[in-house]
Amino acid sequence: MHSRLVAEGKGGSAMRSGSNYSTWWNGGLRTITYFHNMIGILTEIIGSPTPMTIPVVPSKQLPQGDWPMPVVPQLWHYRQSIEYEITNNRAMLDLASRYRETFLFNIWRMGMNSIEKGGKDYWTVTPKRIAALEAAAAANPQPAGGGRGGRGGGRGGAAAGGDSPGGGGFNVATVPMELYNTVLHDPKMRDPRGYIIPSDQADFANATEFVNALLKTGITVLRATSAFQVAGKSYSAGSYVVKTAQAFRPHVMDMFEPQDHPNDFAYPGGPPNPPYDITGWTLAMQMGVEFDRIHDGFDGPFTKISGLLPAPASSITGPSNPAGYLISHRINNSFVLINRLLKANADVYWLKKPETADGQDLGTGAIWVPASATARPVLERGAKELGVAVHAVAKAPAGDALKLKPIRIGLYDQYGGSMPSGWTRWLFEQYEFPFQVVYPPALDAGDLKSKFDVLVFTDGAIRLGGAVFGRGGGGGGMFGAPDPGSIPEEYKGRMGRITEDKTVPQLKKFIESGGSVVTIGSSTSVAELFGVPVKNYLTEKGPDGKDRPLPREKFYIPGSLLRTDVDNTNPLAYGMPAHVDIFFDSSPVFRLEPDSELKHTAAVAWFSGPEVLDSGWAWGQQYLDGGTAVAEASVGEGKVVLLGPEVNFRDQPHATYKLLFNGLYYGSARAAALP
């Protein structure tokens, strides 16, 4: 491509170090192809319909290896951008036509390699495995020097890795050969031959959605036609099986196994080199799917799945004339059912006392729906379409509960758009939440309680002098505030930003009068202005004795999955497991002040221990120990929810959706005592 551009006199192209793209992230049209034995190519070029000036940049007038031909400073027209891209396309087509047999053979060979690796013992080498090898070698030092034909002890190469910025190293000649087999090829660390997703897990509809994500990307998935056993464990009919002996094995592994991003620093002791995008994304972990790794070959009564799967149909079980119905809060689709029930004017409660039905533990916050003519058809349809098991019971439960009410949701957005808000809008639509998009002028106008029950501010929505916790706000419009005079009249009502002098007083009045505010990511920075007793947990003492944020040289977590403890007896976390992986992207972490209990503020999810990384890259993760990730507070008559992690980042982490969904209803729910 570059040769053809140069041959046609089209200067200004760059490659490799000329861009900041890496091949780590499996999330774009270019990179996902790498996990499917294909070539992914990304080209980008300047230009827009408005002519633009290419300035004189002295350093770019000297040809370099990755900048083969300087571009002449000029007035650039969009026509030239199109011509450059036509040249790039012709170059690719020409290359593919001349080497078509080579490319086709390599695609076949890569697929066969994957099938062969999945059918035998194989080990994927990662930075953590290299670190384990280094540690084992350090614990078993060998005398320096080499045998006949070998090199001396002082001439071995240095193996990068370790836990220090820039890596460490030692003399490779001192590593005993047996450690290669006992550590790097530790039988316990070999790759799985496959994965089994049991059909008896609490939210099998969610697991089915995960399987659909695999099927959409060409992965072969099997389904058990009857009960079976593997490795001494019994599995029910309907369980899903994903074997790794298939052509797209790299993608299979990437969806189930943790990512292990290397420590990457500008220089030893220096700042980290930011990745192009996130570093940990293991989809099975993000979605909270229960699965078993199988390390030996296995088979069973399996049949290949063709086409996408609907949610596994369920039904109403129990007496035909019940007192009401119990539903597990663990199922994400139960929120669709709640929204439909409330729309039909049926009563819905969350129970504070744990419940069981048909011998099943329903988890915390079980959903109780008293029998009624309006509830039954909604439940029948929901069980069939959504995969939500509904348990009819002869006797109504007793004890404390929260009664839900229909809610009016306001989802913040701004002129120019907010990507996190857009993702959240799509999510609300999928789960049938009633909502209205709200812009800054409407917030500043006040009288919010008459219009909304809960307001949602996604990451980047609130930016008041930079984030108090974690990084500054992101996800807003790309180019800042536009000139109001250039905006069409119908869009001027969307202009503006949230301000401390105009917007915050109206939000505080809304909360104190009984409204709820749900904040995500950097938008949690507004908490202190509402009087919530929280501070930034990720600080250290500076030379002046005052707290300052931890520098990047000490703490840096760019888009990874971290393990948290969860208080699932708190209504904000009803239906959650005791531990969950959250998506953390330089996210806020809170320290609750000593008077937090007096101010009705509670931690709902927090970090425990020095190692909480499950997938990705977490430099300085030990600083998280004891920090709060999710908190909720009562302010006046209302509620403030602080979701530090991006619980619906790109609408992938289904495992943490409940923190957002529960937060929508929690503030307006009212205490009730069931007879």
Give the pLDDT confidence of 11-54 residue by residue, as tens digits. Answer: 999 998 888 778 888 988 889 999 999 999 888 899 999 999 99
How would DSSP label each residue in 574-589?
Answer: TT--SEEEEEESS---
Q: How far apart are CA 117 and CA 246, in angstroms?
A: 9
159 has a pLDDT exceeding 50: no
Kindly state the average pLDDT of the residues 53-65. Answer: 93
174 has a pLDDT exceeding 90: no
Least confident of 6-10, 123-127, 479-483: 479-483
474 has a pLDDT exceeding 70: no
For 99, list phi and psi in degrees, rounded to 5.
-120, 30
Least confident of 46-60, 97-111, 149-163, 270-284: 149-163
Dihedral of the alpha carbons of 612, 613, 614, 615, in degrees to the nearest 10: 170
3-state SS class at 226: coil
468 has a pLDDT exceeding 70: no
pLDDT of residue 482: 72
Distance of CA 59 to the CA centre of its chain: 39
pLDDT > 70: percent of the chain:
93
The whole-chain average pLDDT of the chain stands at: 92
Kindly state the average pLDDT of the residues 154-172. Answer: 44
Q: What is the pLDDT of residues 359-413, one digit of tens each?
A: 999 999 999 999 999 999 999 999 999 999 999 999 999 999 999 999 999 999 9
660 has a pLDDT exceeding 50: yes
**How many CB atoms lie under 10 A from the CB of residue 77?**
14
pLDDT of residue 173: 56
pLDDT classification of 88: cutoffs 50, 70, 90: very high
Distance from the first to the final alpha carbon of the chain: 75
pLDDT of residue 465: 53
Dihedral sign from CA coordinates of 220, 223, 228, 231: positive
pTM: 0.91
Q: What is the pLDDT of residues 317-347, one digit of tens each?
A: 999 999 999 999 999 999 999 999 999 999 9
421 has a pLDDT exceeding 60: yes
pLDDT of residue 602: 97
**E-strand spans in 181-272?**
194-197, 222-224, 228-230, 233-235, 240-243
Higher pLDDT, 115 or 171: 115
pLDDT of residue 156: 36
Beta bridge partners of 673: 400
Q: Identify which of 44, 51, 45 has the alpha carbon closest to the alpha carbon of residue 76.
A: 51
Kindly state the average pLDDT of the residues 233-246. Answer: 98
pLDDT classification of 151: cutoffs 50, 70, 90: very low
**E-strand spans in 537-652?**
539-541, 547-549, 560-566, 579-584, 590-592, 601-606, 613-615, 628-635, 638-643
Q: How far apart are CA 556 and CA 216, in angstroms?
A: 33
Least confident of 225-229, 485-489, 498-502, 535-539: 485-489
Residue corresponding to tokens 């988890």: 363
Do 439 and 414 meet the contact criterion of CB atoms below 8 Å apart?
A: yes
Q: Identify which of 238, 426, 262, 407 has the alpha carbon closest to the alpha carbon of residue 338.
A: 407
Least confident of 13-17, 188-192, 454-458, 464-468: 464-468
pLDDT of residue 153: 38
Do 587 and 470 meet the contact criterion of CB atoms below 8 Å apart?
A: yes
pLDDT of residue 167: 47
Kindly state the average pLDDT of the residues 238-265. Answer: 97
637 has a pLDDT exceeding 60: yes
Do 619 and 558 meet the contact criterion of CB atoms below 8 Å apart?
A: no
